[in-house]
Every structure is written in C-alpha cells, then in structure tokens.
A and B are shown apart, each in its own frame.
Chain A
C-alpha cells in the first residue's frame, strides 16, 4: 500500500500530461519506449554512480548533490535526444510528455529499489516525499530539457547545442532539488503545487502556437498548391522567385526543384490534415500512394542537392518541425 505513494503521483501526472495533448501528437508506442528506457536508465545510473563512487570515494553529499544529477540526467536525456533526432517529437507538448515519461520510468525503478532496500523502513512520509517530490522531479527535469530542446531546435536546428543547454538545465534543477534547501516534505508540496501550473501554462502556450502554425501554414500551402495546379505559379511571388533561379541551376535541376516544392506542399497539407483529424478524434488517413511520394521526395531532395535545398529555403523551410510533420505520414 505504501509503495503506491511512490508510484501513483508520477503516473497520474504523466496521465494528466497525456490528456492535455489535445492534438494527440504523442504516440503510445514511443511513450511506452520512453518509460521502458527510464527504467533501464535507472539501472545504468545506479551502475555508473556505484562505479564512480568506488573510484573516487565521494562523500554522500557530493554524490547526491553533484555526481548523481549529472549521471542520471545524462542517461535519461540520451534517449530523449534519440526520440527528437528520429523526429518522433515535433512540438514542446509531445517532447515534454516523452521527457516526463522517461523520468517516470526512472522514478518507478528507483522507488521500487528504495522499497526493496528499506523494507519496513520505507514509511509513509518517505513514500510521499519520494512519490510526490523526487519522482515528479525526475520527470520534470527531462520534460524541461525536452521543452528547451524543441524550442532551440526550431530556432537554430542544432540538436547538439540545444541538447547541451537542455541537459545543463536538467542537471542544475536536479542538483538544486538534491540540496534540499527546504524541508523535503515542503519541497514535495512545492513541486506538487507549482509544477502542474507551470506545465499547464507551457502546454497552453504550445497549443496556441500549434494552432497558429496550422492556421497560417495550411492556408498558405493550399493557396500555393492550387496556383501550381492551375498553372498560375508564375503569377505568384514564389513563381517569380523560382524564375530567378534559372541563371544558377540547370533545367533538369529546376524541374526537380519545382517537383520537390509541389510534392512538399501536397504532403505537408496531408500531414496537417492528419493533425486536424487526430485532434477531432478521427484516425489519420494514410493514402496508398503516400509512401511512394515520400520516397520520391527523398530522391528529389538528393537530386537537387544542398545548393538546391538552400536556394529553395525561402519556399520550403525544412526545419525540424517540417521534417517531423512529414515523418507523421510515413
């Protein structure tokens, strides 16, 4: 029964975050993998901490305040980086949920270990502190790292720099928590009060941002594609811009760039349609020819090369979010 205090709050928090995802961006499969990695990372961190302690003979405070935050956050965040790099997360919302799920898995394993080690000494207050405080902190640090990572990726596109910044913040938060500046019980109460509010605000902001992105991009892309299909591309700014590229690229290259642009618009519109469908509770539609079109686009991207891609940047901005969006169709 007491162990439930160690498990229940973090699982409930994860469930609430999952429910806040109104656009259903989160894949249950990836979420389960994140929780599983969290469990694995708890074992890895335990081995690392034990190994480092044997090597350097840290005192308890150094180990908990400075060493464990680094090792634990590094192993947790490693999987988050993989999730983002594989384009399973496109917005702060899904990234934060995946991040929190990793921390949840970690906390579940860690609290089980504590329970098994302490047995009868695992009393209610300790269970509450670990369940409401430490466990949610473990999820919160990776979620904060995920938010920083996604926002940074969208701005700079550099996963290494933003990953390092996110990891640093996660380590810092973890270390501050482990200093127990306040009474542990008070710290747990503060986390329970402030973290949900903070996440709710971030999610509201991210949802609004997502809606605006859909609103602007969807209309622009539909307008542009309809002009292309009506043979009126030349009359648009994009068409005039493409015409200026004639001086710099061969005819074959220009044809490929045109095809790439129009295929991108078509696939992007369908990906956004699927986001809208999922938000309204409909299953996503994957047309039978989508995989062929995605393969074609990949091929065209290779053919136009880096120079062609750069030249098309004003029309097709292949940032992390756009690549994630197309990944949703695969």
Chain B
C-alpha cells in the first residue's frame, strides 16, 4: 500500500495504491491520522489504485469520515474500482460516504 498527497485547489488529494488489509491498515491509519491532525478542511481520497479493501481498511475510512464530519470538513471518496464499489454498495456504506466517479467530479461537488 502506498499513500501520496498533493494540494489541489482548496482540497488535499490523497491517492492510495495497492491493498488495504489487516497487514497494511496500521501504517495506513498512522499516516491518515497525521494528515487529519494537520486540520485540512477538504479531503479527497482517490482510490483509483486501490485493488483490495477489507474491514480494517473500511474502519479507517469510517474514522476519516467521522473526524472530518466532527471538524465540519468534507471527506470525499472517488475512483473506486468496480469490485471495491460493489463492497460499498452491498454493505450499504454508500449511505455513509460521499462517493464520486473521479477527482474532477469530487472537486466540483
């Protein structure tokens, strides 16, 4: 798993690549917490390169959503691969997150 970040207009764009499972989730959570502590108001998580997510990964997405909501910020997810999107649809997590097709759509929303 690899996480990169860049500033895009007034958003912080995070790009996650690889797998988000139990073995990867600790380091991902640590990096995410450091980013959240910086107090960004708008975060886009681009999951174009994410090819697997387990419950540990979903847990971290939920933490991000909760923290951003609590701080009055925005957290947007985009670029979900069909197999990952299916997990969100099946489990009903689509009701919790703001999900967009790609970065452009997330920026405009």
Contacts and interface: CB of A to CB of B under 8 A. Distances in A.
Interface of A: 211-212, 214-215, 218-219, 222, 225-226, 266, 269-270, 272-273, 276-277, 279-282, 285, 287
15 contacts: A215-B54, A218-B55, A219-B55, A222-B87, A226-B87, A270-B91, A270-B92, A272-B91, A273-B91, A273-B92, A273-B93, A280-B63, A281-B66, A282-B65, A285-B95
Interface residues of B, number: 20
B55 A215 contact: yes
Contact of A269 (B62, B65, B66, B91): B91
A281 B68 CA distance: 13
A281 to B, nearest CB: 5
A226 B86 CA distance: 8
A219 B54 contact: yes
Given A215-B55, A215-B56, A282 B62 contact: yes
Interface of B: 21-22, 54-56, 58-59, 62-63, 65-66, 83, 86-87, 90-93, 95-96
Q: Say whether chain A's binding surface is mostly helix, strand, loop, or mixed.
A: helix
A276 B63 CA distance: 10
A225 B92 CA distance: 14
Closest 8 CB pairs of A and B: A280-B62, A218-B55, A273-B91, A214-B55, A219-B54, A269-B91, A215-B55, A222-B87
Contacts, number: 56
Contact of A211 (B21, B56, B93): B56
A266 B96 contact: no
Contacts of B22: 211-212, 215
Contacts of B55: 211, 214-215, 218-219, 272, 276
Contacts of A281: 66
Contacts of B65: 280, 282
Nearest to B87: A222
Contacts of B83: 226
Contacts of A285: 92, 95-96
Contacts of A273: 91-93
A328 to B, nearest CB: 14
A279 B91 CA distance: 16
B91 A282 contact: no
Given A226-B83, A282-B96, A276 B58 contact: yes
Contact of B59 (A219, A269, A276): A276
B86 A277 contact: no
